[in-house]
Structure 1
Amino acid sequence: MASLALQDSMGTKALPDASDFKRALVDVLYRRHFGALLIFCIDSLNQAHGDNVSQALKVLNSVVIPAPESFHITDDKIAVLFDADDARVHEIPSSLPAVIADQTGLRVSCGGIKISSEDYGLHPQMSEIIFSTAQCVLARAQQHAIPQVVWLTEKSTEDALSDISLNFFREIARINAALVQRMTLESRTDFLTGLYNRRGFEAVFTRMVRRANRNGKPLALYYIDSDSLKAINDSKGHDAGDRFIANLAQVLNDMLRGSDLLSRWAGDEFAAVVENTSRARAYAIARRLNRAVDERTEGTISIGVYHGVPESTEDAFRQADAALYRVKNRGKNDIELADPV
C-alpha cells in the first residue's frame, strides 16, 4: 500500500492533522467568517504507486495546499478551509480531478461546501454539520465518479445535490431554533440559582393573573427579602453571599410544589406564586417558608404576602411590597399578609 506521506521530495512541510483541522474549523466558525470547506480524496490510493501519489500531491500543492489552512485528516484525504474573503477558493479549477488523473493516472474525488455565513459559529454543533455535509458531497462525487470539483452552494437546491442541500438547511433551521430557545431561556433565567429572573417571572405571572381573573380563583404572591445577605457579604465576602443566595433558593424551591412559581426577583429578593389557594393556606405557606430558611440556612427572610384575585400584576406587587415594608419596619424575620381589598 502506498503511503500518503504529505511531505514530497521537494521538502514540502507536512500538513497539520485531523485534530488540528477540528480546532481550525471551530475557530473559523466562531471567530472569523466561514467561506468554504473542500475535501480531496485519492480514491485509488491502495493500488497507487508511490511515485504517482507523490506526483498527485505536487499537483495538489500547486493548486490547493498553499492555502493557509490545509490538513491531512485521514490517510487518503486532505481538507482545505477558506475564510469568506479568501479569493483563492474561486481559483480552484473545477477540472482539478481530471487534471490529476491525466498527469498521474490517479482518481481523485473532490467535494465540499461553499455556503458562507457569519452566524454558523453560534451553535456548538455547527462544526460537525459543516464537516459531515462536506463529506456527504465528497461521497456523492465518489459514488458517481464525477471528474470535477463538486460544491454544495446556496443554488444546489435544484440539482443532483438537492437532498444534501435540503438536509443541510434543515439542520441549520433545527439548530437555529434550538439556539433561539436556549437564548430565550437564558434571558429569563438567573445564572446563580437557576430560577426565573425578573423578566421570566413577569411573563409567567402575567398569565397566572389572567387565569385568576378568568376563573375567579385567588392566588398568593410572596414577596421575599433576605434579612442577612448584606451582613454575610460584609463579614465573609461576596462568594459566601453567593453561596447563601444559592442555598436560600434551594430551600425555597424545596418547600414549594413543582406547579408553583419561584424566581430570584433581584439581588436578595425572591418572588413566588401559589395558585388556587385559600387565605389561611397562603399564610401557612409563608410561615413554613420563613421557618425553613431560619432552620436550614445561616440567615432569615421577611415575607410580604398578597392573596386574592388581583386587578393586575402591578396591583398584586404593590400590596405584597407594602406588607413586606411593614415587616421590615417592625424588626424583620417575620411575615405579613396584606389586608383584603
Structure 2
Amino acid sequence: MECSPESKIQLLEAEVLALRDLIDVARAVVSTLDLDQVLQIILTSAMRFAETPAGSIALYDTIRSELTLHAHKGLTPEFVKTERWGLHPGGLTERVLTGGEILFVNDTAQTPFFTNPIALAEGIRSLVCIPLKVQSRVVGILYLDDFVPREFDQEKLKLLSVLSSFAAMAIENAQLHRRTRLMAITDSLTGLYNHRYFQQVFGRELNRASRYGKPLSIVMMDVDDFKKFNDTYGHLHGDKVLAAMGDILEDALRDSDSAFRYGGEEFVVLLPETELPSALQVAERLREIVERKSVEVLKGIVPHGVTVSIGVAAFPRDGETRGELFKSVDDLLYRAKEFGKNRVYSRSEGDV
C-alpha cells in the first residue's frame, strides 16, 4: 500500500530529526573529552530513536570482568546506586559481550536468561542491548529499556549502530587522552605519580583541608642505605627495589590516598581526611610491609630485603602552609634516619 503524502512528510521529518541528532552527537564527540558528558548525549539520542523511557551506558573492564555505570536516564535512584556489577554466566550482559551483536528482548518475563533481580524489581519488561566496540573489542554496552513488553522496529533502530560507533569513538578518545595524561604525571619506573603532580595535588588537598576544616596527613619515606645497596648489588637490582616500592604503596593504600615518587629513593603519601594517629598506623604498616615483602622481591638476588625510614606530619598541627608542612615532614624523616633508620617518626606534643 502506497504511503499518503502526509505519511511521507512525517517519515522525512523523522529522518531529518534523526540526522540532526547524529550531527549533534558527532559534534559532542569531537568537541569534548568529558566521556560521561558525551555518553549522556548519546544515550539521550538513542532513547529518542528507540522511543524508550529509560536507558543506561556501562563500560566494561576486561581485567576485573565487571561493568561500571557511566550514564543513565529514566531509572530510579535505587537502580542506579549499583554502579558496578560483575558478569553472570549465561546472563544477558555476558551474552552481549561474548556475542558482540545487538540483542533484543521483547518480554523479560518470557526470557529465561533475564534473571537480574535489580532490573526485575525496576519493572523493566523489554530492552535493547547494543555492544560498543573499539575495533572488534567490546568496551561497553548501551541498554535501552521499556517498562512494558514490546517488539522493537529493528529496521528503524539501524541508526543505533551509528550511535554506538560514536560512543565507541568517544570511549577510545577519552582512554587515549587518559593514557597520554597519565604518562605526563606518572613515574615510569614505579608507576606512581611523579614529583610535578605531587606539587599540584598537595596544593589542592591542602586548600581543601583548610577550606572545609578537614584533617590531612603527609607521609614521607626514604629507602635506607640505598646508595650502598646500588653500589653493592648494581643499579638493575636497585631499580627492582624502587619498582617494588611502587607496587607495595599502590596495593596498601586506599583509593582516596595518593602515592608519589618524590625523587630518587624518596616517596610521599598524601592521606586526605586522616588524623595523625591513623596516619601513624598507616606509616607503620607500610614500614612493616616494605621490610617483609622486599625480602620476597629480592630472594635469590641478595640475602636480605630493604627497610624504610618514615616521617609523618599532619595539617594544621605541623604546618598550615605547603612550605611549613613539607618542611616538617622532611625534618621528621631526617630524624627517623638519625635515630636508627627503619622506623616511623612524628613530632611529639611540646617538641619545637
So what's the TM-score if we normalise by structure 2? 0.45
Over alpha carbons, which structure has the higher Rg? 1
